Amino acid sequence: MLKTPKGYKFTALEGGFKYSGRDDLALILSDVPAVAAAVFTKNKFQAAPVTVGKEILAESHLVRGAMINAGLANACTGAEGIEDCKESLILAAKYLSISERDLLPASTGVIGPRFNMDRWREVAPKFKKALTENDPVKAAKAIMTTDKFPKLAWGEIECNGQSVRMLGMCKGAGMISPDMATMLGFVTCDAEVDPIWWQDALRRCINKSFNCITVDGDTSTNDTVMAFANGASGVKADDDATKKSLEDLLLDICQQLSYMIVQDAEGGTKVMHIKVTGAASDKDAELMIRAVGNSPLVKTALFGEDPNWGRIVAAAGRSGADFDPEKLTLSFGKIVVFENGKPVEGDMDALLEPLMRKQDVEVNITLGDGEGSSLLQASDLTREYININADYRS
Amino acid sequence: MLKTPKGYKFTALEGGFKYSGRDDLALILSDVPAVAAAVFTKNKFQAAPVTVGKEILAESHLVRGAMINAGLANACTGAEGIEDCKESLILAAKYLSISERDLLPASTGVIGPRFNMDRWREVAPKFKKALTENDPVKAAKAIMTTDKFPKLAWGEIECNGQSVRMLGMCKGAGMISPDMATMLGFVTCDAEVDPIWWQDALRRCINKSFNCITVDGDTSTNDTVMAFANGASGVKADDDATKKSLEDLLLDICQQLSYMIVQDAEGGTKVMHIKVTGAASDKDAELMIRAVGNSPLVKTALFGEDPNWGRIVAAAGRSGADFDPEKLTLSFGKIVVFENGKPVEGDMDALLEPLMRKQDVEVNITLGDGEGSSLLQASDLTREYININADYRS
């Protein structure tokens, strides 16, 4: 059922860097150099692996894969953190018989503490098994932190009679945060692609997936999504139809994965699908959707299964978006609750009860007849979120 | 001990508009016309009393006082809500023997439902007692919604040998929200003031008090602060020294009241005093301080008494403020925990424990040698906040 793209190996091992009794290091390795695209966090504080990864990609788009550790973010660790990151790559390269410029690093976990390099040196010989083992689920489990389940999505398409496969994995307990940071994503594909198109396609897909979710509005120092394409399927994405099919698949996989992050939001019980349409511009729609999706009041109401439209229109009103309040229409699913500047009459609470009980709740806001629109998936805010985050360091 | 400014009456009564068994309507009445200044919410959805209050003040700065009801916000109620608001003023004016343009209206409570005007008509004859009763604490209690205590602050200064008194009250359980909205504030003073200076002074004081607090980042449809000055003390604020003394007192009262709102934040247990200095501009400092003060991760860590600097620097990093991460210095009180791009070594958790156990926690961020700075008081985010807001409508 899970069809791995050709020419890749996935493995994981127990490094004992922070956790014990579980895998905490994953390796994704292509048999041949693959075209790599990557999108990194915009946080001003960039973790060491982000800095090093950018450096490697600035030299060449062709790499062999990625090495990911969970538990320590290697962020805010200064020049020493960069050195530690580079040494970990040299160690891995040695046992995989590749160059240290062939692996992109990624880290997730606690900010601040440095790697224990003695531990890395001790563990490095085990990396060899990455040359033979092929278990993406194991790899997806190894990169988890507060995640409650591993996150994988895959697909296969036919291009000119030949099969192309794509597989993605990510971690993120919705908490896009600095502490049990963060959101990391890895997509592998066995098509042959143009590096510039692949980077553009990845960015477009991220804008419609990982950038359309929110748990707590925080953005970590380590957020990274990488996509590899090694050509092992023999399919070249050199015509528009093939590119379109591949990008559709990439988007589908990114959206499946990003939904899973919201679904697995720390303490989360529900996913709110917010849609703003008819805005004067996409920017206005975006401002409004973020204000609604990040409002603690809206998020606690969602948790309480309360169709509290007052909190939504008030968040919309303070969002900074340009709109006419008299023209705003708000509906849950297809049930309109607010229009023409006032609530729709009737026992809406009773009508809405079955909708609010669902795990997925649709909130639709129409602002007028503008062209601007935006989508966002947001988690609810629960007692469990507080428990996880207030008591985290104990 | 509580010295009421001269020439004002404060009263409250049980209107039974939403609550029962408690006062829910307050009247503040000056014996003579008072100069009124007011600052209203910037939310695009403006409650009926906000619209009507602006209309009254556009005609004249001279009014006799304010009528405030708790329980119903009269927001998002359309043209009918405006009519209801105006009718309530006409009713009050009738029994107080004043004009309906002499009272500024303010409402706080649930968004959406209309006033029951039959109930208003029934209650209105009771308003007469506002002409004789003088109990500011009773009035401050009547405007509470989820507040746990009434919020009052007052002071007296000597100006050219004569005494001037000022008294402020506000409501706000920190939740600057659309539902059990909102933040309302009323200041009375017995000096004689110039209306333009009074309005400017109020705005300057609000920018350093009510605009420097956050509980959940939401802004309601009803937020209003009004300040009245009736001249009953015989003191004219017509020289710079008197104006300065009065404005200092006004600021002090506004800051006392705004602190009380954060202290009474829904579910809140602590107040974080965040200070950003050395920023390239005030705007950069402001961006950063809001990102830190509204971050659910920072707020839950505060609740957990966890000096989690990683969450603070990551919020700073994503804030959009322009700064050099290598130059950021973060301290709790006077204890520096992060500088030169990395954490200060040592058992900081042990050192910080006594600081974190306090109700008031100071977070200081220095960004460099710029002139920009900003201050913010923020509450923590707790299980109780979720309980209050998820289960509100039950």
- Picking from B77, B221, B311, the nearest residue to A179 by CB comes out as B311
Element (H, E) at B246: helix B240-263
Residues 6+ apart with CB under 8 A from A123: A13, A15, A16, A25
What is the tens place of the pLDDT at every residue in B11-41? Answer: 999 999 888 899 999 999 999 999 999 999 8
Inter-chain touch B386–A382, beta carbons under 8 Å: yes
CA separation for the pair B220, B110 (Å, rounded) = 11
Banded pLDDT at B385 (limits 50, 70, 90): confident
Q: Give the start-to-end residue ranges of the domains of chain A.
A: 8-263, 271-390
- CB-based contacts of A305, cutoff 8 Å, min separation 6: A353, A356, A357
Pairing outcome for strands A151-159 and A335-339: unpaired
Only one residue has tokens 């003695």, namely A118
A21 CB burial (10 A radius; 0-12, 13-18, 19+): exposed
What confidence tens digit (pLDDT) does each residue in B81-124 have? 999 999 999 999 999 999 999 999 999 988 889 999 999 999 99
Distances from the Cα of A318 to the Cα of A284, B43, B336, B340, B381, angstroms:
12, 5, 36, 37, 21
Shortest distance, CA A177 to any CA of chain B (angstroms): 7
Q: Give the residue with greater pLDDT, A216 vs A295.
A: A295
* Per-residue confidence band for B326, with pLDDT thresholds at 50, 70 and 90: very high
Can you give the pLDDT at residue B392?
56
Q: Chain A contacts of B310, Cβ < 8 Å?
A: 75-76, 110-112, 178-179
Annotated catalytic, B277?
Answer: no
pLDDT at A181 over 50: no
Q: Please judge whether B393 and A303 are an interchain contact, meaning their C-beta atoms are less than 8 angstroms apart.
A: no
- pLDDT of A392 reads 56
> How many Å lie between the alpha carbon of B381 and the closest alpha carbon of chain A?
7
**Residues 6+ positions from A138 with CB-CB distance below 8 Å:** A10, A11, A12, A23, A26
Identify the residue whose tokens are 């015509």: A239
Please give the residue that has the higher pLDDT: either B322 or A180. Answer: B322
Are B300 and A385 within 8 A, CB to CB?
A: yes
Determine which of A45, A214, A348 to mutate to test the interface with B (most B C-beta atoms within 10 Å).
A45
B75 touches chain A (CB under 8 A): yes
Q: Looking at the complex, does the CB of residue A44 fall below 8 Å from at least one CB of chain B?
A: yes
Tokens coding B379: 């509450």
Q: Angle formed by the axes of helices B240-263 and B195-207, to 10°?
A: 40
A334 contact B CB<8A: no
pLDDT value of residue B394 = 42
pLDDT tens, position by position, A322-331:
999 999 999 9
* A310 → closest Cβ in B178, B313, B321: B178
How confident is residue B44, by pLDDT bands cut at 50, 70 and 90?
A: confident
> What does the pLDDT read at residue A174?
58
pLDDT at A266: 81
Cα distance from A217 to chain B (closest Cα, Å)?
A: 7
* Encoded tokens for A316: 């919309």
The pLDDT-based confidence of A235 (bands split at 50, 70, 90) is very high
pLDDT tens digits, one per residue of A326-347: 999 999 998 999 999 999 988 8
Residue percentage of chain A with pLDDT more than 90: 68
Q: How far apart are CA B106 and CA B49, in angstroms?
A: 5
For residues B277 and A258, which has the higher predicted lDDT (pLDDT)?
B277
A184, HSE (Cβ side, Cα atoms, 13 Å): 35
Say what percent of chain A tops pLDDT 70. 95
Of chain A residues 157-186, which have a CB less than 8 A from chain B? 175, 177-179, 181
- List the 267-296 stretch of A: residues with Cβ below 8 A of B: 294-296
Inter-chain touch A76–B343, beta carbons under 8 Å = yes
Q: What is the pLDDT of residue A390?
A: 79
CB nearest to B44's CB, from A323, A342, A393: A323
CB pair distance less than 8 Å for B342 and A219: no
The residue type at B33: P
Q: At what angle do helices B296-303 and A383-390 cross, to 10 degrees?
A: 70
- Bridging pattern class, strands A372-379 and B8-13: unpaired
CB contact at 8 A, B214 and B173: no
Contact across the interface for B218 and A318, Cβ inside 8 Å? yes
Burial call B328-344: b when 16+ CB within 10 Å, e when fewer: bbbbbbebbbbeebbbb
Q: From the candidates B41, B77, B182, B366, give the one annotated as an active-site residue.
A: B182
- The average pLDDT across B383-389 equals 84
The SS3 call for residue A325 is: helix
What's the pLDDT at B393?
53
Each residue of B114-159: pLDDT tens digit?
Answer: 999 999 999 999 999 989 999 999 999 999 988 888 999 999 999 8
Burial of B372 (0-12, 13-18, 19+ CB in 10 A): buried
CB A36 within 8 A of CB A6: no
Task: Work out the mean pLDDT of chain A and round it to a whole number.
Answer: 90
Q: Chain B contacts of A265, Cβ < 8 Å? A: none
C-alpha distances out from residue A388 to A19, A223, B181, B299, B382, Å: 17, 20, 29, 12, 11
Q: Is residue B177 over pLDDT 50? A: no
Which of A257, A63, A246, A252 has the alpha carbon at shortest distance from A164? Answer: A246
Question: How close A93 gets to chain B, by Cα (Å)?
Answer: 28
- What local confidence, expressed as pLDDT, does residue A178 receive? 36
From chain B, the residues in CB contact with A306 under 8 A are 390, 392-393
pLDDT for the residue B175: 55
Flag if A386 and B300 touch (Cβ within 8 Å): yes
| Average pLDDT of the residues in A71-90 | 94
CB atoms within 10 A of CB A124: 19
Residues 208-247 of B with CB under 8 A from A: 216-221
CATH topology of domain A271-390: Ubiquitin-like (UB roll) (3.10.20)
Cβ–Cβ contact B77 with A under 8 A: yes
What pLDDT, on a 0 to 100 scale, did the predictor assign at position A180? 39
What pLDDT, on the 0 to 100 scale, is given for residue B6? 96
pLDDT for residue B178 = 36
Q: Which of A155-159, A369-373, B209-213 has the lowest mean pLDDT?
A: B209-213
Residue B107 near residue B75 (C-beta atoms within 8 A): yes
Going by their DSSP bridges, the two strands B184-189 and A213-214 should be labelled as unpaired
Which runs of E-coded beta strand occur in chain B?
Answer: 8-13, 25-40, 62-72, 103-110, 151-159, 162-171, 184-189, 213-214, 224-229, 271-279, 329-332, 335-339, 342-343, 360-366, 372-379
B216/A325 CB distance under 8 A: no
Q: Which of A182, A221, A224, A382 is catalytic?
A: A182
Give the residue among A45, A90, A85 at the shortest CA–CA distance from A68. A85
For residue A292, pLDDT beyond 50: yes
The listed CATH number (3.60.90.10, 3.60.70.12, 3.40.50.150, 3.40.640.10) that belongs to domain B8-263:
3.60.70.12
Among residues A333, A321, A270, the alpha carbon closest in space to that of A292 is found at A321
Q: Does residue A314 register a pLDDT over 70?
A: yes
Q: Does the distance separating the beta carbons of A81 and B342 come in below 8 Å?
A: yes
Which of A300, A343, A390 lies at the smallest CB-CB distance from B390?
A300
Chosen for mutation from B107, B114, B218 (greatest number of chain A CBs closer than 10 Å) is B218
- pLDDT of A2-52, one tens digit each? 789 999 999 999 999 888 899 999 999 999 999 999 999 888 889 999 999
Cβ separation of A44 and B317 shorter than 8 Å? yes
Number of CB atoms found within 10 A of residue A121's CB: 12
CA distances from A347 to A240, A307, A310, A343, B116 (A): 52, 12, 15, 11, 18
Q: What is the DSSP letter of A192?
A: B
**CB-based contact, B323 to chain A, within 8 Å:** yes
**In angstroms, what separates the C-alpha of A22 from chain B's closest C-alpha?**
25
Query: Considering chain B, what is the average pLDDT of its residues?
Result: 90
Tokens found for residue B371: 């002139």
Do the chains contact at B310 and A216, CB–CB below 8 Å? no
pLDDT value at residue A42: 84
CB contact under 8 A, A219 and B318: yes
Mean pLDDT of A170-180: 60
| Burial environment of residue A345 by CB neighbours within 10 A (0 to 12, 13 to 18, 19 or more) | exposed
Say if residues B336 and B344 touch (Cβ distance below 8 Å): yes
CB contact under 8 A, A219 and B110: no
Q: Which pLDDT score is estimated for A212? A: 85
